[in-house]
Chains A and B, each alone.
Chain A
Amino acid sequence: MSGGLRRANPVYSFVAPCVAGGLWLVAVLAGLGVGAVTIAPSEVLAVVARIVGLSLAPVAPVQETVLLDIRAPRVMLGIAVGAALAAAGGALQGLFRNPLADPGLIGVSTGAALAAATAIVAGEGLIAALPWLTRGLLIPLAAFAGGLAATWVVYRIARRDGHTDVATLLLAGVAINAIAGAGIGLLIFVSNDQELRDLNFWTLGSLGGATWSRLLPALPFMIAPALGLTLFARRLDALLLGEVEAGHLGFAVERSKRWIVGLAALAVGGAVALAGVIGFIGLVVPHLVRLTLGARHGRVLPYSLVLGSALLIAADLVARTVVLPAELPVGIVTSCIGGPFFLWLLMRRRGLGMG
């Protein structure tokens, strides 16, 4: 028989994992090593070895402090945020059956940012009233609620007869971005100096200011839902055929949809709570994975996790080294990459007559 089903392809079983893992490692080592104080990969290894109880070559205390207190939490935040945004983007694109659904474009990120900003400005009273509620918990929770609300609104508006309309989807995103933008503007207007600085940080997106004490409580909010979304790979594959067809294939469609929307909103909410609005990671990364490895979510989601981390760390490296001694918000860098990429996608779709 010519054709038919073939067995394991070495591209998928060997080459792709090595390339993705290699890119990730390079990005992480560069993120840890490059900056005002240079730290070589061997020194990174030595510090890691010392922490686990082995002693290799000695490392200067300055470098160890910079590595452990400044670079490591920042890279860790980049890993978590990049993975969360890329996984959420990949899953939302599958759910909406539309490759243009990015958490930033369709309003999920700004919805989360508006809620987080509200929590920053108005949250003190709430924290005073409820002693168990800390600031570190309130802002991620608010961002999650905002992201969930925005996702649900967009989903309800753009969906008609079981499928989503691309133009309506993007226009709903424009409207939500405008409304949330106005809300954030209003909050900036009424905020004091400290709040203003925090708010600026949300709207542009930044990995700066990452500390272990802020990072650790929020990490599960990003990592768990991003990993959780990979469990829905088969259901997302079936949803690509349409909701009714996924039902015919024996999937509980409504329940799956609620889980996917909830996990994506949680991942984006967690990312926005710590790093603000960072656009286009969720658009670019799953798209590149699909172009090279195909659309199966069993591949798209895990590779998006890994490569989303790598891309965000690399973008952050650019952001903090390109205008030394100052630092660009990383959201500007990702938009510089993602904006043209988005335009290219639109032109390509028009060229194929799919626009």
Chain B
Amino acid sequence: MTLAAHEVSVTRGSAALVKSVSLTVRPGEFVVVIGPNGAGKSTLLHALSGATRPTRGYCHLDGVALADWSPAALARRRSVLPQAPALGFPLTVSEVVALGRSPHAGHADQMSDWRAINTALATASIAHLAERSYPELSGGERQRVHLARVLAQIEREGRDEALGARYMLLDEPTNNLDLSHQQRLVATAAHLAARGDGVLAILHDPNLAAQYADRLVVLADGAVYANGVPESVLTQQIMGEVFDLKTVCLTHPRSGRPYVLPG
């Protein structure tokens, strides 16, 4: 019962963006993918979401290939937070969050949609913005609205409540966020995993990743370079080889998590 990529390759034109990557996200696990620009992180995430069909290999949820899921049934099980969602029309915050319940039409009554939306608004701490118009919000607030939207999408409400773990994919969700909002967003994702769902996020900041992730995957040049607990991945050797960066690897005095210091 996992969301997984099985020997997935994605080729566009003559460029191999992802090369035979196998990766599994288990229920209750928070996996963070790090890697240099152009390593194929977003392409891999698009393949895991079902939006991109792999050139070779396949992705599957609960052992069923994504291509064999109906789009709506898949959407009830996994949600995707994009990098920088654009929305120029004056929808209110609660209307944007309610879009997350679209795949549940016919599978959840109004009250359970209602509870899901309210829970998501509260979890993303934007309940006070519910009636505000989306285009008037700041960048950080907008990102939290979309977080609430993808949380509402996989909230355990409605008839499919018992249907196995949910999965959330986050594509560099902390872009444009200040330090405190970055922490809160990643903490929310980690919390989702702690309650039994599977979460995979692409992050640029290895320290933020190591602080919350159960497992780090380093992607370099389209292939998995390292895959393991943060302590085994954030090493001077791997940082040097993958990011071409001289670093000192330390342990955070309070959390006990590893962190890297360039220089």
Given A249-B102, A251-B102, A296-B95, does the pair A4, B122 have CB atoms closer than 8 Å?
A: yes
**Which listed segment binds A: B22-30, B72-80, B221-229, B253-261?**
B72-80
Interface residue SS majority, chain A: loop
* Closest Cβ–Cβ distance, residue A352 to chain B (whole Å): 9
- Asked whether, in the complex, the Cβ of B95 is within 8 Å of the Cβ of A294, the reply is yes
Between A and B, how many residue pairs show CB distances below 8 Å?
101
By CB atoms of chain B within 10 A, which of A238, A240, A249 has the most? A249
**Which listed segment binds A: B81-89, B185-193, B241-249?**
B81-89
* Closest Cβ–Cβ distance, residue A205 to chain B (whole Å): 28
**Which listed segment binds A: B4-12, B31-39, B124-132, B198-206?**
B124-132
Complex alpha-carbon distance, A251 and B103, angstroms = 8
Given A5-B117, A234-B102, does the pair A294, B51 have CB atoms closer than 8 Å?
A: no
- Asked whether, in the complex, the Cβ of B87 is within 8 Å of the Cβ of A241, the reply is yes
Q: Which of A2, A6, A234, A294 contacts B90 (CB 8 A)?
A: A294
Complex alpha-carbon distance, A146 and B130, angstroms = 43
Complex alpha-carbon distance, A251 and B73, angstroms = 10
Q: Which of B73, B122, B153 contacts A249 (CB 8 A)?
A: B153
Q: Which of B85, B99, B114, B131 contacts A3 (CB 8 A)?
A: B131
- Asked whether, in the complex, the Cβ of A250 is within 8 Å of the Cβ of B86, the reply is no
Which residues on B sit within 8 Å (CB–CB) of A98?
Answer: 88
Given A4-B118, A5-B94, A294-B95, does the pair A250, B87 have CB atoms closer than 8 Å?
A: no
Complex alpha-carbon distance, A248 and B50, angstroms = 8
- Asked whether, in the complex, the Cβ of B102 is within 8 Å of the Cβ of A295, the reply is no
- Asked whether, in the complex, the Cβ of B121 is within 8 Å of the Cβ of A241, the reply is no
B16 beta carbon closer than 8 Å to chain A: no
* Closest Cβ–Cβ distance, residue A298 to chain B (whole Å): 10
Given A2-B127, A234-B105, A241-B85, does the pair A248, B80 have CB atoms closer than 8 Å?
A: yes
- Asked whether, in the complex, the Cβ of A354 is within 8 Å of the Cβ of B130, the reply is no
A99 beta carbon closer than 8 Å to chain B: yes
- Asked whether, in the complex, the Cβ of B87 is within 8 Å of the Cβ of A247, the reply is no
* Closest Cβ–Cβ distance, residue B219 to chain A (whole Å): 20
* Closest Cβ–Cβ distance, residue A348 to chain B (whole Å): 13
- Asked whether, in the complex, the Cβ of A250 is within 8 Å of the Cβ of B103, the reply is yes
* Closest Cβ–Cβ distance, residue A196 to chain B (whole Å): 43
Given A248-B51, A248-B79, does the pair A238, B99 have CB atoms closer than 8 Å?
A: yes
Per-residue interface assignment for chain B, residues 88 to 107, with 1 indicating a CB less than 8 Å from any chain A CB and 0 otherwise: 11111011100110110100
A195 beta carbon closer than 8 Å to chain B: no
Closest B residue to A7 by beta carbon equals B114
Taking A99-B89, A290-B90 as known contacts, 5 extra A-B pairs with beta carbons closer than 8 A to each other, sorted by chain A number, are A4-B130, A245-B80, A247-B50, A247-B51, A296-B91
Residues of chain A whose beta carbon lies under 8 Å from any beta carbon of chain B: 1-6, 94, 97-99, 163, 234, 237-238, 240-242, 244-245, 247-252, 290-291, 294-296, 354
The 7 A-B residue pairs with the shortest CB-CB distance in the complex, in nearest-first order: A250-B75, A250-B103, A250-B72, A295-B89, A3-B128, A3-B127, A248-B80
